[in-house]
Structure 1
Amino acid sequence: MATFFMPLLPVLFLCLLHTAISCPASDRAALLDFKAGLSEPYLGIFTSWTGTDCCTNWYGVNCDPTNGRVADITLRGESEDPILVRSGRMSGLMSGKISSSICKLDRLTNLVVADWKQITGPLPDCITTSLPMLRILDLPGNRLTGQIPSSMGKLSHLTVLNLADNQLTGKIPASLTAMSDLKHLDLTNNCLSDSIPSDFGNLKMLSRALLARNQLSGSIPSSIGNMNRLADLDLGGNKLSGSIPSNLGSMPVLSSLYLDDNKLSGNIPTTLLQSKGLGMLNLSRNALSGEIPDVFDSKSYFMVLDLSYNKLSGHVPHSLTSAAYVGHLDLSHNHLCGTIPTGSPYDHLEATSFAGNACLCGFPLSKYNM
């Protein structure tokens, strides 16, 4: 008889384990408090937040199977989620505020409340002190206000910080550069001011740094040039001044660099145009001067090279005709002079790529000047 019952024991144990591990009452209460601070009238995503077990069929909520604690909240207002498809809407609309009750979910690893358009108020300070296991904080596309908590650096396990497309003010917290695991940082399109921390380069694991369309001022920290994993850097649409650090052109995996629409001055570093990995470079709408370094060769490959609306002088670089590929090239609205070289890429460009240079001539300008 004993032999007959033995195979059933593991199954019974697993069933009992599943029954025992469910959402604790404290996590359920915290979620309901979080829900109470929000209003979502169109999709009804919170209608599933009923019953005693928040680990079962609560939309956007996932739990750790080993202890039943809430580990993941993912609520996206723009996605291909079936709940959006069934509603016939391309996006959702949610208003209200992110309640500090979220901080009671102290085993939370992922918090995603993205693209709901009308969520306002500040980011609760307690997130940085009460959620030690948080790895992803993804809150873009809302109307969050106030400052990024100064203690943000305490989230030592954070790999993704996305606060883009909000209305955040103040400075980038100095503590942020202590987040040694951070890989993706997006603060685009806010109202952040003051300077970029000088030790920004301490974020050694960072692969994307997107800080565009804010009100950041001061110089570009030279420490950024020491970031060996950074592939995408976007500082466009700010008030940055001073020269471009030459070591940006020596970064081993940098593939896109956007510094457009700032107040940068000085020469274009030769290293930038010699970089063999940098395929998208936009330095337009600054106050850069001097000549364009004529240092292109057969390994140069630019999908975008935009130097327009500066104070560049001298000749159009002839060596660009030896480049492996040049897609979009814009040298317009500078002080360039002389004849435009012949051959690729110049023979397939429009006159708009060279407009606004008073003493520049040759094709494609010539066909408009006949």
Structure 2
Amino acid sequence: MKLNVAYFLLLLTATVTFVNSCTPSDREALLSFKSGLTEPYIGLFNSWTGNDCCSNWAGVTCDPTDGRVNDIILRGESEALEKTGRSGYMTGSLSPSLCKLDRLTTLIVADWKTISGEIPACITTLPHLRILDLIGNQLTGSLPSDIGKLTKLTVLNVADNRLTGPVPPSIVDLSSLMHLDLSNNKLSGELPKDIGKLKMMSRALVNHNELTGTIPESISEIYRLADLDLSSNQLTGSIPSKLGSMPVLSTLNLDSNKLSGEIPVSILSNGGLNIVNLSRNGLDGYLPDVFTAGSYFSVLDLSFNKLKGAIPKSLTAARYIGHLDLSNNHLCGSIPLGFPFDHLEASSFDNNDCLCGSPLMRIC
């Protein structure tokens, strides 16, 4: 009996040792990935030696139960680098060998500044991928057209690259997506009309691209959405009024587009909206007189539009307004007295047709 127990413990130890070591196929895929990149200053890949990629390979973690690679986390801007006074710099491209790591849940290769080439199309074959973060490189080409296959993806961040082409229609199939950042690229075409299918999304940042078309009304169906930034594109049409009825939306940036029509009453009467920037569009009509004691705006920027009429007196009832900019419109009449106007500068009201009163030098 004692011999049997000892034999069982020996087998268990051997098994644990085996599953904690790197599989040869994963090690080969990692080394192929490494061969496509050059990092000359930090020596990041110096630790990628030996047979076991699960032990002390910088940025690589494995599942302890089977020794398969789960995470690759390589950040060019991190606390560790900041302490050394260095910033990451890496050249090369992302090898399709990454797609052989079919147990990968996290792929972060971020802020290396000069990694170029395309996102491997086969990335969409990784069934367990939850985080894809490639921000801050010089990636070109388009987003994989079948990116919707990554149904477990919660984070998609490819900001600050040079990506072109459309936002793939299949993106609406990312049913688990919570954070979307496509900002600062050269994406073109229209946003998918049914983008509202992304019910789990809390942040959608698609600013500084070349998107055209209208703002899909279905965005208002994303009830968890807190931050929406579509600024600095070429969007046209009116602002969907239903955006103002979104329950948790706190930041709405639509500035620097070609939007027209009136500002929806619902936007300015939504007590949950904290940052609203609609500047540099072609919005016209009157400013809705709908501010109440529940209005709280740290930023309300409506400058560089075609707004007319008087400044609503109800603005003085707002609980808080930090930065207010109504400059470069066609507003007329006297600037209301009291808060928040008593702490604003003249630049907030410059270049209107006939505004008068403090802080302008024009007497009513």
Using the size of structure 2 for normalisation, the TM-score is 0.97
The question of 1:112 aligning with 2:108 is answered: yes
The question of 1:323 aligning with 2:318 is answered: yes
State whether residues 43 and 87 of structure 1, in contact with CA within 8 Å, keep that contact through their aligned partners in structure 2: no
Q: Secondary structure at the match of 1:75?
A: strand
1:281–1:10 distance in 2 versus 1, CA, 3 Å: farther
The structure 1 segments of at least 4 consecutive aligned residues displaced by more than 4 Å after TM superposition are: 8-14
| Corresponding residue number in structure 2 for 1:147 | 142
Out of 230, 237, 245, which is 2:232 matched to?
237
1:192-239: CA deviation from partner (whole Å, max 9, x where unpaired): 001010001110000000000000000000000111000000000000
Out of 12, 17, 20, which is 1:19 matched to?
17
1:193 and 1:315 mapped to 2: Cα distance? 38
State whether residues 330 and 354 of structure 1, in contact with CA within 8 Å, keep that contact through their aligned partners in structure 2: yes
1:236-255: CA deviation from partner (whole Å, max 9, x where unpaired): 00000000000000000000
TM alignment of 1:34-53, pairs within 5 A: 34-53=33-52
The question of 1:88 aligning with 2:62 is answered: no
Deviation, structure 1 residue 317: 1.0
Deviation, structure 1 residue 18: 3.0
Out of 360, 364, 370, which is 2:359 matched to?
364
1:188 and 1:295 mapped to 2: Cα distance? 32
1:362–1:86 distance in 2 versus 1, CA, 3 Å: closer
Out of 301, 304, 313, which is 1:306 matched to?
301
Gaps of at least 5 residues in structure 1 are none
Deviation, structure 1 residue 17: 3.4
1:170 and 1:85 mapped to 2: Cα distance? 35
1:362–1:184 distance in 2 versus 1, CA, 3 Å: same
Deviation, structure 1 residue 13: 6.2
Identity of aligned residues (%): 63
State whether residues 294 and 318 of structure 1, in contact with CA within 8 Å, keep that contact through their aligned partners in structure 2: yes
| Corresponding residue number in structure 1 for 2:153 | 158
Deviation, structure 1 residue 15: 3.7
1:12–1:319 distance in 2 versus 1, CA, 3 Å: farther
1:309 and 1:103 mapped to 2: Cα distance? 48
Q: Secondary structure at the match of 1:242?
A: coil
Q: Secondary structure at the match of 1:218?
A: coil
Q: Secondary structure at the match of 2:324?
A: strand
1:227–1:85 distance in 2 versus 1, CA, 3 Å: closer
1:236-293: CA deviation from partner (whole Å, max 9, x where unpaired): 0000000000000000000000000000000000000010110000000000000000
2:161 and 2:288 mapped to 1: Cα distance? 39
1:13–1:342 distance in 2 versus 1, CA, 3 Å: farther
What is the CA RMSD across the aligned residues, in angstroms? Answer: 1.7
State whether residues 357 and 363 of structure 2, in contact with CA within 8 Å, keep that contact through their aligned partners in structure 1: no
TM alignment of 1:63-212, pairs within 5 A: 63-81=62-80, 84-85=81-82, 87-89=84-86, 91-129=87-125, 131-212=126-207
Aligned length: 363
Deviates more, 1:188-197 or 1:10-19: 10-19
Q: Which amino acid aligns with 1:325?
A: Y
